[in-house]
Chains A and B, each alone.
Chain A
Amino acid sequence: MHPAYSVIFFTTFSGAGYGLLFLMGLFAAAQWIDPVRWFGFTGFFFAFSMIVSGLIASTYHLGHPERAWRALSQWRSSWLSREGILAVTGFVPFSFFAMGWVIFENHGGAWRLMAVLTILFAVLTVYATSMIYATLRTVRAWFNRHTVRVYLAFSLWTGSVWFNLLAHLFDLHTPGIGMIVVITGILALWLKRKYWMFLDTSPTWVPPEHATGLGDLGSVKLLDAPNTQENYVQQEMGFNIARKHAEKLRRWAFFTYFLIPWSLALITFESDPWIKIPGAILAVIMVMVGTMIERWLFFAEAKHTTMLYYGASDS
């Protein structure tokens, strides 16, 4: 599949945004931290701007952005529609939650309910996003149980790296944070590995013989495509990355989205500000870059059944 940058940017940033909201909601609901105004403000600022910019980015690849509102109509059947609705309605609990924290410096009582709702919406929205892909039977690399897990895990992991940065900025010493960073990082790593193992070992999804129904006549090979220059379908679904190249990128991704930010987060637990703050910032940059590489691969490595009609030997 053709990796559309708008979509990569969108899923990465809104993912991180929701992850961060999730953690803030969690810490508030669990009352693990005090509702420090500026901590909250910065946190919500990061989270909201990531989510919003992500949403805006996602409209770039639309043919008619001005009609985007129509996408809210098909919640009964379309995960894209559901995602849109969740993204929009989510802002209600988010804002109340933020209001309580930043203005009233309070996340108890009724505000606490908002924190819980925030957690819920954050998870559901990311889940909806992932389901857009996970329900496409046309793409083996997406139509599997790993897709949703990886999306949720990455949302959480990127969010926690951001959360870690906040913690250091405001110098909150909650051991929980360190734990979460360590665990979510490993979780993201583990699930993505499993995804890649699945991808490398999963047998041909649909063979050309089934795409054409000509299997009885022998192995099926394209002789002539209908057109000699690439058409829309080939440009959109035909993007194909070489095995070797993909492996290289996977390694890069491993360093950037996991190893560097994870170790940085570790070493930044108990050190003095001059190290940990720059370290945490670097970790954030790295994890975002790494996740974008990972997302790029998520598209680039995905084969669409349509290409069976254009010479692909498997899908």
Chain B
Amino acid sequence: MTEIPQNTSGKKLGLVIDLDICVGCHACAVNCKEWNTSGHSAPLPDNDPFGQNAEGVWFNRVHTFECGQGADSRTVHFPRSCLHCEQPACVEVCPTGASYKRAEDGIVLVNEDICIGCKLCSWACPYGAREYDGDSGVMKKCTLCIDRIYNENLEETDRVPVCVSTCPANARHFGDLGDPISEVSRMVEERQGYDLMPELHYQPVNKYLPPRPKSADYQSEQPKRLTPVAARPENEEAGGLFRWIDRVLTR
């Protein structure tokens, strides 16, 4: 039943996304599509793919925001996928139990065999992470690459979500956010990783690392500058070249 299960292991698998180095290249989004359209939730169909309103099912999408105005505004690229919340209303509202959160690792999944396609879970998701496959009449979503992360046919090192392994900027990290000493948890610790819309109390597992503040020297009152070599009169005569005349340099 879809009451949120007691997570016995305390394991919380999820992603940490570093907004400081995300260049907004969409690689994670497209690679996710490529992997998953033939993966656990296959297919991820595209309607009218070569027509006027091409739109398909994607588990990961990259937005671009501008923050602030004028000179000190900033552009931030913002990938968005399921955050595998600890309090996923998407699961609570599901009338069939098709939506569920795994006890063993906290991954939120849809059981397509019993989903009736009522879409209520997508209404319940504040983050727009659920995408409806009208073609097969079921809800689909990020699986955290469930068919990869435990896949014995893959090298240990390849057992990560494809959005992570493909990110050219290495801005995405996968791990156990339930384990305080895991690499991802430490990253979150050091970089003040944060939750999206904490006020809604979904308690996302995925964390975002904020863009770093601009370096201090930027826009300072008295900016650095080089001090010209003291202009001696003879220096001027030589068109300012005098200072190099007595330099002995060997090749």
Contact = CB atoms under 8 A, between A and B. Distances in A.
A74 B116 contact: no
B34 to A, nearest CB: 16
B128 interface: yes
A139 B89 CA distance: 13
Given A64-B138, A67-B114, A77-B3, A232 B55 contact: yes
Interface in A213-240: 213-214, 216-227, 229-233, 236-237
A226 B61 contact: yes
Interface string B34-55: 0000000000000000001111
Interface stretch (A22-30, A33-41, A160-168, A301-309): A301-309
Interface string A61-97: 1111101101111101111110010000000000000
A309 to B, nearest CB: 6
B127 interface: yes
Q: Could you say which of A73, A78, A233 has the most chain B C-beta atoms within 10 Å of its C-beta?
A: A78
Nearest to B137: A63
B175 interface: no
Contacts of A216: 210
Contacts of B114: 67, 70
A132 interface: yes
- Interface class of chain A by DSSP: mixed
Interface in A170-213: 206, 208, 210-213
A78 B126 contact: no
A139 B98 CA distance: 23
Interface string A288-315: 0000000000000000111001100000
Q: Could you say which of A63, A218, A221 has the most chain B C-beta atoms within 10 Å of its C-beta?
A: A63
B63 A225 contact: yes
Nearest to A1: B123
Contacts of A70: 95-98, 114, 116
Given A67-B116, A70-B95, A78-B94, A222 B123 contact: no
B178 interface: no
B23 interface: no
A135 interface: yes
Interface string B161-187: 000000000000000000000000000
Nearest to B61: A226
Q: Could you say which of B74, B197, B199, B210 has the most chain A C-beta atoms within 10 Å of its C-beta?
A: B197
Interface stretch (B64-72, B221-229, B234-242): B64-72
A224 B29 CA distance: 15
Interface residues of B, number: 72
Interface stretch (B7-15, B75-83, B150-158, B243-251): B75-83
B131 interface: yes
Contact of B120 (A132, A222, A229, A306): A132
B25 interface: no
Given A61-B119, A78-B93, A306-B126, A219 B54 contact: no
A301 B84 CA distance: 29
Contact of A63 (B58, B62, B116, B210): B116
Closest 8 pairs between A and B when the two form their complex, measured CB to CB? A63-B117, A218-B68, A63-B137, A306-B128, A226-B61, A217-B67, A71-B95, A81-B95
17 contacts: A74-B2, A74-B96, A80-B120, A132-B93, A210-B198, A217-B68, A217-B73, A217-B74, A224-B64, A226-B63, A227-B61, A231-B56, A231-B58, A232-B55, A233-B128, A305-B200, A306-B125
Interface of B: 1-3, 19, 26, 29, 52-58, 61-69, 72-76, 78, 80, 89, 91-98, 114-120, 122-128, 130-134, 136-139, 194-201, 208, 210-211
Interface of A: 1, 61-65, 67-68, 70-74, 76-81, 84, 132, 135-139, 206, 208, 210-214, 216-227, 229-233, 236-237, 304-306, 309-310
Given A70-B114, A210-B196, A231-B55, 17 more contacts: A62-B117, A63-B118, A63-B139, A65-B116, A70-B98, A70-B116, A72-B95, A74-B94, A76-B1, A136-B124, A206-B199, A210-B198, A213-B195, A217-B76, A221-B65, A229-B53, A232-B55
